[in-house]
Amino acid sequence: MERKLVIVDCDAGIDDALALILLAGAHKLNKIQLLAVTCVNGNTNVENVVNNVFRTLQTCGLADIPVYKGAYSPLLSTESARIAATELFHGPDGFGNMFIDKPDTSKLQKEHAVHALYRMVCENPGEVSITCIGPLTNIALAIKLYPDFISKVKEFYVMGGNYTAQGNITAQAEFNFYSDPESVHIFLANNIKPHVLLPWETCMKYAVDPKWKNHVFGKIDTPEVRLMDTLHEFYLNNNKGYAIHKPCDAILAAIVLRPDMATKLIEHHADIELTGCRTRGQVVIDHLESNKPNTSTVIEYDSEIFKELLILALDPENYEGDVL
């Protein structure tokens, strides 16, 4: 079986790191080919995102994976963009300011992330799965710059938004989509390729059992686990423990590796609210079914598969199962 070609577009907060570790583990086992990581402003500014991506890849022993710097701000300078920029859930630098050293970023590619995205899908037409775990600014810019960009992509996996109007940064909006809803609208209005959406509410349905984390995850001693333990210390010190046990971006990465992990999906047409004074950034679903579906929303997923994939990614040399 040919390996799935994957590009990750991320804003490198703490759960992005675990997502990258999952995909890096599969890459090292030749289950996927991680073509590149593109960086976008979101959980922190894009300079910090670059640092965090390099730190994670170097921890995984994959310092040669190409990394590209992308958009440094949302498409529009709006009040919601200002609010999102001040929501330092992952700390000022995206990694909880837990490190005093700087990672080696000398291999940062000179090409802009948006141009790199287009070039790579043109080099591999119809073969690249793009995994989006941050705001969709880079994707929207690629769509607007290159009319044939979408046609070259195989599929999209996106973590963001909601399907019952439950939010986190506001009562109605999830952070990634709220940070740049115009980009979400551009993506949803133009995408013609398969699109798996993992919304906020689905991520909140299940939690990694703290006992399992302590007695299974906690017994593994690898550089990847030590990195995540350091980052989780920030959460524990800031009373944000749910992010340890419900790591949204990592859940999406696991679905990329095992699409059958998504046990219930609903196809519908979705857009995003741009002008509502209370609902900006909320996903709007066409319940009348007057439009053709443009997304498959994950409603349920198999948390046991997720835990198995975590064990595999964090300690591949000693893993004895067959989850991949």
124-163 pLDDT per residue, tens = 999 999 999 999 999 999 999 999 999 999 999 999 999 9
- Contacts of residues 122-126 at CB distance under 8 Å and 24 or more positions apart, as own/partner, are 122/152, 124/5, 124/35, 125/152, 126/152, 126/153, 126/154
Q: What is the pLDDT of residue 229?
A: 86
pLDDT value of residue 301: 96
Query: Which candidate, 213, 195, 243, places its Cα nearest to that of 94?
Result: 243
The pLDDT score that the predictor gives to residue 62 is 96
User: How confident is the model at residue 239, as a pLDDT?
Assistant: 59
The pTM is what?
A: 0.95
Q: Which pLDDT does position 277 carry in this prediction?
A: 87
Q: What is the CATH number of domain 4-318?
A: 3.90.245.10
Task: Report residue 14 CA to chain centroid gap.
Answer: 11
Interhelix angle 14-28/46-59, nearest 10 degrees: 40
Share of the chain above pLDDT 70, in %: 96
Mean pLDDT, the chain, rounded, equals 92
For the chain, the farthest-separated pair of C-alpha atoms sits apart, in whole angstroms, at: 54
Does the pLDDT value for residue 115 go beyond 70? yes
Tell me, what's the pLDDT at 243?
Answer: 53
* Closest alpha carbon to 7 in 44, 45, 49, 39: 39
Work out the pLDDT band at 240, boundaries 50, 70, 90.
low
Note whether 198 and 158 are within 8 A (CB).
yes
